[in-house]
Amino acid sequence: MPPTVAAELPRRVFREVSSLSVELTKLLQERIMIFDGAMGTMIQRLYLEEEDFRGKLLIDHPIPLKGNNDLLSITKPDAIYNIHKEYLLAGADFVCTNTFSSTRVAQSDYKLESLVFQMNSESARIARQAADDVGASSGLRRYVVGSLGPTNRTLSISPSVEKPEYRNVTFDELVDAYKEQAEGLIHGGCDMLIVETIFDTANARAALYAIQEVFEDPDKNIQPCPVLISGTIVDKSGRTLSGQTSEAFCISVSHIEPFALGLNCALGAREMRPYIAAIGAFTPSFVLCYPNAGLPNAMGGYDETPAIMAESIRSFAIDGLLNIVGGCCGSTPQHIKAIKQALQGCKPRVPPSRVTHHEGYLMLSGMEANLTAPNAMFINIGERCNVAGSRKFCRLIKDNQYEEALAIAKNQVEMGAQVLDINVDDGLLDGVACMTKFLNYISSEPDIAKVPLCIDSSNFDVIEAGLKCFQGKPIVNSISLKEGKADFIAKANKIKRHGAAVVVMAFDEDGQAADCDRKVAICTRSYRILVDEVGMNPADIIFDPNILTIGTGMEEHNNYAIDYINAAKIIKEILPGCRISGGVSNLSFSFRGVEKTRSSMHSVFLYHAISAGMDMGIVNAGTMPIYIDIDKRLLDLCEDLIWNRSSDTTDKLLELTQQYANQGSEKSEIQVDEWRNKSVEQRLEHSLIKGIDKYVIEDVEEARSNSAMYPRPLHIIEGPLMAGMSIVGDLFGSGKMFLPQVIKSARVMKKAVGYLVPFMEAERMGMGNDGPNHSGTVVIATVKGDVHDIGKNIVGVVLGCNNFNVIDLGVMCSCEKLLSAAVEHKADFVGLSGLITPSLDEMVHVAREMQRLGFNVPLLIGGATTSRTHTAVKIEPRYRAGPVIHVLDAARSVVVCSQLMKNCDVYKEDIADEYSEIREDYYNSLADRRYVSMETARARNFTIDWIKDSAVPAPTFTGTRTFPAVDLEELRPFIDWRPFFDVWQLRGKYPNRTYPKIFDDKTVGEEAQKVFNDAQQLLDEIVTNQSLTANGLVGFYPAQSDGDDIVVYDNESSMNEIARFCCLRQQEEKEGRQESYYCLSDFVAPRSSSVIDHIGMMAVTAGIGAEELCKHYERNDDDFNSIMVKALADRLAEAFAEYLHARIRRDLWGYSPSESLSPDDAFRVKYTGIRPAPGYPTQPDHTEKRTMWSVCDIEAQTGISLTESLAMLPAASVSALIFAHPRSSYFSLGKIGKDQLVDYSKRKGLSLEECEKWLRSNLSYETD
């Protein structure tokens, strides 16, 4: 460590800088210094035998000793002395002692534990003698470095695959072993110590802990010496064997302020370069590098010559990466000599100042580095791995189901937790054992272990147990002055020795600080002790000024939130470098059971607390709503409660959803069998138009038999069949033919072509012909993450009917697969489909990739969430090489593709002009549209008087209840047939727009009746054969609103927060000043009301078995029934949701026990309460599904899973939240401002970019 930097931070006590450090720092500022090379390589060259290792001392030892190189310092000291001397004469400034394995842990394999101190002392003495001898003869001082190797055990990895929690060594055993080694090395005359070849940072941390204990032991009176640290990157992954990145490794060991930090072993110089560069950028210490002489060859040797190795290292030096360099495995004195010569004239690396390097950053690590700048965004500490906060986690730990408990930890990380809180404090648990075991399990899971941990306990023994089995740099939660200053300092010193950051509670000998002045006074006193007396880095100090419960009904509690916020601001101003944290759920404890209220309170509180200086908090990552998403009325209530103004909360929401009126078309007439008397061409045409397949085979065969008219089978396709399909296309494109009819036509066409295929195959074999001459090839797919394909399938059928070759890649198709298929099939068009909002982003991605890869074919966009505006604004500008066209429906696809094939250039220009106008109009409309600020929207939230208007009973149960294999006949009365006709694009005109009046429509009525009858027939078969399975689940939990969040509790007795739904609030300006800005959290009683409310969750599917049934029909070329199955499965899923919601209202929750609504009344939302779904207008963020799935374990209990884009599988599934208050209502969120999304991202613990991705269509601003 450079000696002069300690004075640059007067308030912080650095480890004492020795005179040796001053001397070496001066030298290292002048030149690159040289380490020695491999001891083992030189020993191997001596070809020693067993008796050489035994010597006279161990001649009767019962265990073979050959290969125990460290023993040679006792039995053949001259050999070791000569090796040291060779390296020193070659130019080494430093020699490392022959003690790589000189610990009692490693020597236990040889039963030589009793000789460990002697091995180290003698090895140091020999090296000292060599260094002094060469130094005296050369006039240049040489230095002895005591080597502490990694041992042959590991704290982070189990030696047993079957038992990931098992360890064959403990932290304390390693500490004792390393203390003995360090004392022996120092006793023998070492100038400094090096902890080297670190493949497991947990082992290294034990060594560093031991070294600090040796230096601090007053009975030993050992002067601290410089400490060097060298890790080992095992391969080109850039990680240690225990999984840490080089940056995380640096953070984990930097608490000891090493004199030099670097890498050795495993890699050659060329391979090591990028990792040395990374470490150099990450540490203010000098950088040390001693690579192998290349990579091992097939025989385990090293082939890199001195010249080659030296040249590689010289390139490091020229680029300013090195301070100390040497060699490891395979290197010899010749290598060291060549390196020294190669570095002549190379300037050493200039380390950054220790104080200014990452100044003010909180630096934590798991397997990966976690750096938090002083003004960084809020850090979410995941709270669910806490036996007091998660009933499920507690049960799993008590039942010894640790692997299942890991799933909770993994979910927290996936949901956005940047730090993971672990707490196993329970009267029935052995905290030390449980903490050790669970952290050992975590070490085996890289997806979890990548993040830092917050080791949380009121028992310091449990905290120490956690610190002893985590290789990264964690947070300790917590210590305080409650037991006095001496206890506080003792614990702080142990934490500092472990290299952890620490949470300090605002407690002292007089108790907990409640008001602002006491909070500031206690934190100031604690800070001064930690910085001035303990020497802790201010950036590692995290104050928790006590978030206390408000809304309790006790007046003395009313200012608790204000006191915390004010204290946070003052603390950050007067105590530089520290962080502010808190247990956020404490704030809303009085509203146990009303998750929405609690989560909204938390969000509002955090909004203000973060502004005041709060940096982090223990929250359920990914579930808390963003401040700006909280409904205006609920926001006002939370604001009043937090600022001690009032206690109003929660309102109703209104959803403006309606079904779009659809345009109809004229009907066609069906002819009777007199058409059979016409020519074969006319009969084929008639069969195709009318969808009659009864005679098509005999008619096709008749045509094929007429070899004079149709000498080739292809001519029949190109002739009468295509003529008939062209008419179908014209009728469909002009709206004179309807989709059900077109599907039937396709079935006839497939049957006709299928009959001709064998004849064409035979012809091709003889003539080498290419087969059908299609109008064009279309590659279509539902994009990655989306499983909905009814519309896509219809488009495929319709295009196929119009002589297009359709390559359907199915659902959840990656961009790579799609574009590869487009190249393979020489596509004339690429078509993208999607139903859910995240699909829009994937479409943009595909467009970008098509542009990057040089495609120039038209890109067709379709699906329920797509629009001409989105296509023109978001997609088309990303793919300029080919036209991008929004396809409104299946009929339009025919027209678009036909136009592009006929007159591509003209049509492209028309589309480009049209989309340019759309973009201009869109951006002009944004300029005109007005939005209120997040603060204003929350101030005008919808308000319910929860004292006067809270007569919603508790549900009949809490937790979940499943409804497996529900009888489909029972669901049938609840089918809403109105959307069914939209699938088939049958749209009546007023007053006959919807079912059942659509049957009276003059244009589409007859066809609507036919497709309805077909549906009834197929539904009868499905019900009779039980072809589809309907599974469902309902869950009820206590809940309260917390600002714009809904906090969910486990039960009314414990009121432990188990989840948090983050809600969004309207921001589009409304005309009347009395108009409310709605948020779902408005409909749940807030914590301030003292009302324990509830929230319900529901998930149902009727799609189990649908895929198999569709495939059955597709194998029989029956696209009509394949599509009909999916349409009916969707209807049955919605019917199941209506059925279950009715039961919820009447008996499961029972808040409307006397309800007697007809299904029609339910379809028209005449019931009490609402059931909004994530991804729909009230809460368009699909990520909220993750919370539902986690709380209710939906996938395991129903078979409904989520794709990476959060679409439900099976696709015929419905999920919803259940709100019971009579004033709750549906509403449409509309567009929101960036201020709300910034707050929302903080509440959810996601990045702003991630939230923008999920809510792109709801943003009032541009993100690109």
Catalytic residue numbers, as ranges: 786, 788, 839
Ramachandran sector of residue 79 (left: φ over 0; alpha: ψ -120 to 50; beta: rest): alpha
Q: How far is CA 1191 from CA 1057, 1098, 1210, in A?
A: 11, 11, 20
| CA separation for the pair 392, 383 (Å, rounded) | 13
Helix 516-528 to helix 560-574 angle, to the nearest 10 degrees?
30
| CA separation for the pair 585, 907 (Å, rounded) | 60
Is it true that the peptide bond before 916 is cis, omega within 30 degrees of 0? no
| CA separation for the pair 509, 112 (Å, rounded) | 50
Residues composing the chain: 1264
DSSP 712-739: SHHHHIIIIIHHHHHHHHHHHHTTSS-H
**Lookup: tokens for 537:** 């880095």
- Cα 762 vs. chain centroid, distance in angstroms? 55
Q: Which residues pair with residue 1037 across a beta bridge?
A: 1095
DSSP 182-224: HHHHHHHT-SEEEEEEES-HHHHHHHHHHHHHHHH-TTT-PPP
Ramachandran sector of residue 1069 (left: φ over 0; alpha: ψ -120 to 50; beta: rest): beta
- Binning the chain into helix, strand and coil, the percentages to the nearest 5 are 45, 15, 40
**Lookup: tokens for 529:** 């002790």
**Lookup: tokens for 632:** 């205006």
Q: In this structure, which amino acid lies at residue 458?
A: S
| CA separation for the pair 478, 463 (Å, rounded) | 9
CB 251 within 8 A of CB 473: yes
| CA separation for the pair 538, 680 (Å, rounded) | 92
Coil, helix or strand for 103?
Answer: coil
CB 339 within 8 A of CB 313: yes
Is beta strand 227-231 parallel, antiparallel or unpaired with respect to 1057-1062?
unpaired
**Lookup: tokens for 672:** 């009777």
| CA separation for the pair 253, 231 (Å, rounded) | 10
Is beta strand 959-963 parallel, antiparallel or unpaired with respect to 541-544?
unpaired
| CA separation for the pair 1247, 1235 (Å, rounded) | 14
| CA separation for the pair 432, 440 (Å, rounded) | 12
| CA separation for the pair 838, 1205 (Å, rounded) | 6
CB 355 within 8 A of CB 5: yes
- Burial readout 801-831 (b: 16 or more C-beta within 10 A, e: otherwise): bbbbbbbbbebbbebeebbebbeeeebbbbb
Q: Which residues pair with residue 479 across a beta bridge?
A: 504
| CA separation for the pair 1044, 1062 (Å, rounded) | 7
Q: How far is CA 1054 from CA 35, 390, 1049, 1057, in A?
A: 62, 10, 8, 9
**Lookup: tokens for 831:** 């078509």
| CA separation for the pair 432, 457 (Å, rounded) | 10
| CA separation for the pair 785, 113 (Å, rounded) | 59
Residue 1175: how many CB atoms within 10 A of its CB? 23
Helix 460-467 to helix 431-443 angle, to the nearest 10 degrees?
20
Residue 966: how many CB atoms within 10 A of its CB? 18
